[in-house]
Amino acid sequence: MTEMKYGIFTSFILSVWMIIEYTLLVPNFHELGMYLGIISILIPVIGIYLGIKERREKTNFGYITFGESFRTGIVISFIVAIMIVLFTYAYYEYLNPNYVNYLSAETEKTLIKQNAGREEINAAVTVIKYQFSFNVQIIQQLLFILLGGTAITFILSMILKKDRRSKPV
């Protein structure tokens, strides 16, 4: 139950962040790029941390093995991955179906203002259309969440593990 709660919680926060990022921040990505990445990493770290910690404190009475901790984090990561793929589909299909066209047009306007050549504009628009296409976004989200979630889980499991030690008589 802990995994489900924190998987859904983390997915919800990431979905809200993605809406903010896609609608408000990506058009200004060149100014905010590094900060967007940091926030996108912190959200799963916090969700996995809270899930493992709750499992340790409430379910296991203050103790958790590396294996239990790792399993908890991986399950949370898989739930987040599934939920984010569903959210990305809904976003591209229903919430903002013209997202890629909008980004392409904004990129073209910006480059025209900067007096860029037609070849440079066409190349940039092609990259934007590819990078923010539905298929690429799904693959990026899955890789980011599954690989990143595994790395985050490994590190947090090493930090949060607390084995029961038998006391000598």
pLDDT tens-digit series, residues 68-101: 999 999 999 999 999 999 998 998 888 888 888 8
What is the number of domains present in the chain?
1
Whole-number percent of the chain with pLDDT over 90: 49
Q: Is 165 inside any structural domain?
A: no
Q: State the DSSP code for 61.
A: T
Q: Is 32 inside any structural domain?
A: yes
pTM: 0.81
Q: 64 pairs with which residues across the strands? A: 162
Q: Is 157 exposed, middle or buried (0-12, 13-18, 19+ CB in 10 A)?
A: buried
Q: Is 104 inside any structural domain?
A: no
Q: Is 154 inside any structural domain?
A: yes
Q: Is 111 inside any structural domain?
A: no
**Tokens 């058009």 sit on residue:** 27
The whole domain housing 150 covers 2-95+145-160
Q: Is 41 inside any structural domain?
A: yes
Q: Is 102 inside any structural domain?
A: no
From 44, 68, 46, 50, select the one nearest 157 (Cα to Cα). 68
Q: Is 73 inside any structural domain?
A: yes
pLDDT-based confidence at residue 155 (cuts at 50, 70, 90): very high
55, pLDDT greater than 90: yes
